[in-house]
Chain A
Amino acid sequence: MGSMLPTFVIQALHGLVYGMLLFFVASGFSLVFGMMGVLNIAHTGFYMVGAYVGYTVFTKTGNFWLALIIAPIVVGLLGALVERYFLKKVHAFGHAYELLITLGIFFVIGEVVKWIWGNFTQPSRIPPSLSGSVHITGLTYPDYRLFVLLISFVALLALLYIFLKTRVGIAIRAAVSDADMVNCLGINVSRLFLYVFSGGAALAGLAGVVAGPFLSTHPAMGIDMLADLFVVVVVGGLGSLGGTFVASLMIGELQSFGVLFIPQLALVFQFLLMAVVLIIRPAGLFGEKI
């Protein structure tokens, strides 16, 4: 047992790191759905673009911090473009077509990424200043993952601040519960949606940049993330930020320990969890009753 404990702690930390990453991708996805009922399949495409742009900036300039700033901006702009020039146009046709357009964009993003960067895995490079590891009471943990954890908590606090304290945040929360009513109260919901969509994309881009060095950057990373993302939002409840947070951590830990104990079935576990949640609480753990 004594020798199991360190592995246990390390796996738990790994799960926490991946869970936080998942949360950053899922929160934007979940909010966009909550506000406008749009399932944005292209969201994990944004995550992938973030990883690739970050990778390119990092290798070209050698400055990881620059990548950390530039990539989310680029992805955020891409998100704004998608919202204004594609999503908005099909809004009148109904949700099915909104979803289909994001599905199309997801594939085009995937193809463009293969086109520009090639259909292979990019060598992952951890920034030199973070390539060491920390030793605490016999445990060794890589600096980089701790850094990811740190940046996640900073971003989480920033998100909480925006949602709980600022006017925009309050308007967004109101719009999630009833977008039409908020519109009637004189708030420009259309613009609010643009903010949320592009902000969510930027967040996914940020997750991509930090994920790149330790999960490797490859053209299938969008699809890989998609499966996890779906499970997270179904388990947590679509449109619920708190639910998304809890579900992200659950899936992160489940994957981490699943790989440790039963590697072949790790992927199946999270779907089993999803099925169980669907039977017991169809709206998700924290979702409103539908």
Chain B
Amino acid sequence: MKEITSRQWFLLIGAILLILLAPLFLKTVQIRILNEVIYFSLFAVSFNLLFGYAGLLSCGHAAYFGIGAYTTAILLKRLVGMPVPLAILTSGIAAAVGGVIIGFFCVRRKASYFVLLTMAFNQLVWALAWKWRSMTGGDDGIGGFVPKSMSLGIVTLDLSNGGMVYCLSAVIVMFFLFLIWHLLKTPFGNTIRAIKVNEDRPEFLGYNVNFSKLLLFTMAAFFAGIAGSLYALFQDFVATSSIDLAMATQVIMMAILGGTGSFLGPVLGAGIFVYFTDWISHLTDRWEFILGALFIILVLYFHRGAIGLIPKKLKSIFVSAKNQ
């Protein structure tokens, strides 16, 4: 794995500044779309931790996104005055707890069984959100829970301002992306890559493969939960659509769209997905059909993702941490 060169550092810092200062020169509508890209980026990267790095195709990753979103909504609605950062963190932890329990059953099984189980448990979480009316509001969902402002010691952020929410999300997502990126450079990251190539060899070498998979599964759930929490803060409304199979498919689509073979591929994919969906849903009512058809075409012909289409030279900027 290569170290980051000074030129790449320069580009990175430039990009971060550009992302954070975007509200100064973009319209509110554009900021809203960018905000969606931000939290979906974390969601897609957390999914790719499983699929791209460990080869674990989770068809139920929306469960943790949904748990995070619902936890934030319920906490802020019921415990008025709860600090927002604490709610975000708790949402991540709640999703991680869900991840440990569900992961315990899933990681012991390989390939198709794993997929089947993740999907089945996704349906369970969805059913819980749908049936447990007193807690989740059923199919009405929960809305209007985001407080007007939040205080961070000295500064007070105005949460009714879209730009503020955007900046908060951007800072949190970038922090976690850095964290994940560093996580992948640790020996644990190498264990995961080894598991993708061959599950038996690391086992023979004395690694506890199932434990590593469970740990990764839990982490991925945690990050998805954080993303879900940011989604809830942004929408100020949470419904079962944040957990359903369509959401679980969307995140797969984002990852494949951008390319599962690189760290930032899913970020690119989330961007393409959000902008494309926004564009197509203005053009036609049948946009979900087009999305589905696009998904099929993607799997048939472009499963290496958009990042595979970027010329090599440009790519070296994008792909600093290869995962293969």
Contacts and interface: CB of A to CB of B under 8 A. Distances in A.
Is the A/B pair a real complex?
yes
Mostly, the B contact residues are helix
B123 A227 contact: yes
Interface residues of A, number: 42
B116 A107 contact: no
B57 A231 contact: no
B300 A89 contact: yes
B119 to A, nearest CB: 6
Interface in A18-47: 33, 37-39, 41
Interface in A97-126: 97, 99-101, 103-105, 107-108, 110-112, 115
Interface in A267-288: 267-268, 271, 274-275, 278-279, 282
A129 interface: no
A100 B288 CA distance: 16
B296 interface: yes
Interface string B257-298: 000000000000000000000000000001011011101100
A111 B108 contact: no
A168 interface: no
* B: contact size bracket: 35 or more
A268 B127 contact: yes
Given A39-B112, A111-B286, A112-B289, A97 B105 contact: no
Contact of B299 (A97, A115, A274): A97
Contact of B112 (A37, A89, A278): A37
A86 interface: yes
A93 interface: yes
B249 interface: yes
B131 A107 contact: no
A100 B112 contact: no
Nearest to B108: A282
Given A97-B303, A104-B295, A108-B289, A39 B127 contact: no
A39 B246 contact: no
Interface in A242-284: 264, 267-268, 271, 274-275, 278-279, 282
B115 A99 contact: yes
Nearest to A107: B292
B117 interface: yes
A111 B289 contact: yes
Contacts of A282: 108-109
A223 interface: yes
A267 B129 CA distance: 12
Contacts of B16: none
Contacts of A89: 300
